[in-house]
Amino acid sequence: MASSNYLINFYENTNTLWKSLGEKTLSIYNNKYRPYLNITSGNYKLLNIPISIDLNYEYNPDEYNDLTFNYKNKLYGIRFDKHSESSYSNFKKTFNTIKDKKFFTKYYDNGRIKITGGYSNDEYNGYVTEYYNNDESSIKFEGEMEDNEYVEGIFKNQNGTIKLEALNIVCGLINGYIKIIYNNSVDTVEDQYLFTDINGYGNLNISSSSFVEDVCGQVYGNEFMKELRFHNLSNNDKLYKLYCSLEEISIKLEQINQKNNGIFGTVTNIYNYIFSRR
């Protein structure tokens, strides 16, 4: 993924007045699926802006700014390093090249990015990136579309720990085979009956936010998926989940003890309870 970095002075317009936000770094990423601008301060990301035809921007609008743009109903300004005339011209050349790809971005009602990609005839055609409507705006699909339909690409679950690669999708149905990628493992699933089941089973829908995990649950089984989800938790989340399980067992044991009011009955019920959960 090609990128270029520029030292800038960054401004925000409040009540028609420009307020300096200080010296920042502007990075432009020419990613074929989702070209975007990053504005950072050290390791902290201030803005991540898709470069698409709906981005409202203007070159040299006033004496203060080399570039202004409106993003999520806020007006921002950028001034490039005046000691390096080439930085501004290089940025414009790269930015204009990306803009000519005619990417278009749509948003969820809450303002999070929904999808960005090649757009023509009021439909997505070409490379696209689709996002989940979650706090991280994690990637749901990265690949190609034709007339708003998936053609080929990689689907991801919401925390990005499982990837499903499909290279032949027709009318929302997967043809051929899929690759499932998790924990550095790659499984190729080719059984024809499986795809019949995937495409026609219950609520399995290629556009669903649970599509990847639904497919994997059908391939590997629900118990495997429970183990995989636990494995991919952070250490703190694992400890919390174990704590909750122990609390549940403790409550159950107390209920058993009160009900039986005797050591023999308690031991017997503990044995039955533990082995009933296997």
111-138 as b/e: b if 16+ CB within 10 A:
eebbbbbbbeeeebbbbbbbbbbeeeee
- From start to end of 51-99, where are the E strands? 56-59, 67-71, 74-80
Assess whether pLDDT exceeds 80 at residue 46. Answer: yes
Residue pair 130/141 in contact by the 8 Å Cβ criterion: yes
Question: Which amino acid appears at position 4 of this protein?
Answer: S
Residues 157 and 272 in one domain: no
What pLDDT, on a 0 to 100 scale, did the predictor assign at position 74?
Answer: 92
Model-level pTM greater than 0.75?
Answer: no
**Domain end point (choices 41, 70, 101):** 101
φ, ψ for residue 160, nearest 5 deg: 75, 15
Residues 225 and 111 in one domain: yes
> What confidence category does residue 168 fall into, taking pLDDT thresholds of 50, 70 and 90?
confident
Q: What is the pLDDT of residues 81-129, one digit of tens each?
A: 877 778 898 999 999 988 888 899 999 999 899 999 998 888 999 999 9
Segments forming the whole domain that contains residue 124: 107-230
Q: 42: how many CB neighbours lie within 10 A of its CB?
A: 7
Assess whether pLDDT exceeds 90 at residue 24. Answer: yes
226 vs 16, higher pLDDT: 16
Residues 46 and 122 in one domain: no
Residues 221 and 251 in one domain: no
Q: What is the pLDDT of residues 193-246, one digit of tens each?
A: 455 545 455 556 888 888 888 888 888 877 777 777 766 666 777 777 777 878
Residue pair 4/87 in contact by the 8 Å Cβ criterion: no
| 20: CATH | 2.30.29.30
Q: Going by C-beta distance under 8 Å and a sequence separation of 6 or more, which residues neighbour residue 271?
A: none
268 vs 41, higher pLDDT: 41
Residues 122 and 213 in one domain: yes
Q: 100: how many CB neighbours lie within 10 A of its CB?
A: 9
Sequential DSSP letters for 74-106 = EEEEEEE-TT-HHHHHHHHHHHHHHHTT-EEEE
Q: What is the mean pLDDT of residues 262-277?
A: 59
- The single-letter DSSP state of residue 171 is T
Residues 56 and 171 in one domain: no
Residues 137 and 246 in one domain: no
170 vs 241, higher pLDDT: 170
Region of poorest pLDDT, from 50-64, 131-145, 153-167, 209-223:
209-223
Residues 258 and 182 in one domain: no
Residues 91 and 128 in one domain: no
Share of the chain above pLDDT 90, in %: 39
| 132: CATH | 2.20.110.10
- The single-letter DSSP state of residue 177 is -
274 three-state secondary structure = helix
Counting DSSP H helices and E strands in the chain, the numbers are 6, 17
Categorise residue 240: left if φ over 0, alpha if ψ from -120 to 50, beta otherwise: alpha
Residues 196 and 144 in one domain: yes
What pLDDT, on a 0 to 100 scale, did the predictor assign at position 85?
Answer: 75
Residue of 138, 120, 118, 141 lying closest to 129 (CA atoms)? 141
**Domain end point (choices 101, 124, 158):** 101
Please, what is the average pLDDT of the chain? 83
Q: 262: how many CB neighbours lie within 10 A of its CB?
A: 10
State the residue for tokens 């290279």: 167
Assess whether pLDDT exceeds 80 at residue 257. Answer: no
- CA distance linking residue 209 with residue 202, whole number of Å: 15
Task: Give the helix, strand, coil percentages of the chain, each rounded to 5.
Answer: 30, 40, 30
> What confidence category does residue 192 fall into, taking pLDDT thresholds of 50, 70 and 90?
very low
Assess whether pLDDT exceeds 50 at residue 191. Answer: no
What pLDDT, on a 0 to 100 scale, did the predictor assign at position 193?
Answer: 42
How many domains is the chain built from? 3
The length of the chain in residues reads: 278
What pLDDT, on a 0 to 100 scale, did the predictor assign at position 62?
Answer: 82
